Amino acid sequence: MKIKQIHRRLKASRHKPWQIYLLSASVLAALGLYLEIEITYSVLQAIERVSSRWSWVIILGIQGVLIGFVAEFLYEQGDGYAKSTSHLFTSKDQTLLFRVGAMTLVSGVITKVVPPLLENATEFLFIQTTGAVIALGILLVHIGSSDWNPLTEWPAITAGTLLAIVPSLV
């Protein structure tokens, strides 16, 4: 089958083509690492070398996603004021002060803990962190949506999860 025909079929599917391409690359990378295919390992190392200058951006991305999950817990989106710890304070000002303090503390901990943890935990820092940002970012964006259908995003979530986890398993 020609590449144009494959792309046309992907565009006609209910998934976005980039999700299918990313899933295909992730599956190939995961299988290549699992089966210890040398060219896969070499390609991933080359990607790491080329992207190493940008690893700080992707680390900021994972920090942002993690802080986003904490913020989602502390704040309610919409007309309501807040959902977490509101009952503990007598005014909105005290609640705001608590939340700013909590987010500052969480941000500081994530900033000091996440980068060294990631750098020490994996050989493929950029690839694995990018996978985690993709999977967790999609979940974060949709966490408050009542009408979100996860089946529309499963290729990207699966691809991100594969990229984030598989290199550490093999």
Q: Using CA atoms, how far apart are residues 17 and 19, in angstroms rounded to an integer?
A: 5
* pLDDT in single tens digits along all 170 residues of the chain: 687 887 788 778 888 888 989 999 999 999 999 999 999 999 999 999 999 898 889 988 998 898 888 888 777 654 454 555 666 777 777 777 887 888 888 888 888 888 888 888 888 999 999 999 999 999 988 887 778 888 888 999 999 999 999 998 87
Q: Which long-range contacts link 95-103 to residues 24+ away (Cβ below 8 Å)? A: 99/74, 99/75, 102/70, 102/74, 103/67, 103/70, 103/71, 103/74
Which residue, among 163, 168, 154, 169, has the nearest Cα to 20 in the 3D structure? 154
Torsion, CA 32, CA 36, CA 40, CA 44, rounded to 10: 110
Q: How far is CA 73 from CA 59, 70, 143, 149, in A?
A: 22, 5, 10, 21
| 43-78 pLDDT tens trace | 999 999 999 898 889 988 998 898 888 888 777 654
Residue 155 is predicted with a pLDDT of 93
Q: Which domain holds residue 149?
A: 3-169
* Counted domains in the chain: 1
Residue 37 is predicted with a pLDDT of 94
**Pair 33, 44: CB distance under 8 Å:** yes
Q: Using CA atoms, how far apart are residues 141 and 154, in angstroms rounded to an integer?
A: 14
Residue 1 is predicted with a pLDDT of 60
Encoded amino acid at 152, one letter: T
Model pTM above 0.85: no
Residue 93 is predicted with a pLDDT of 77
Residue 97 is predicted with a pLDDT of 82
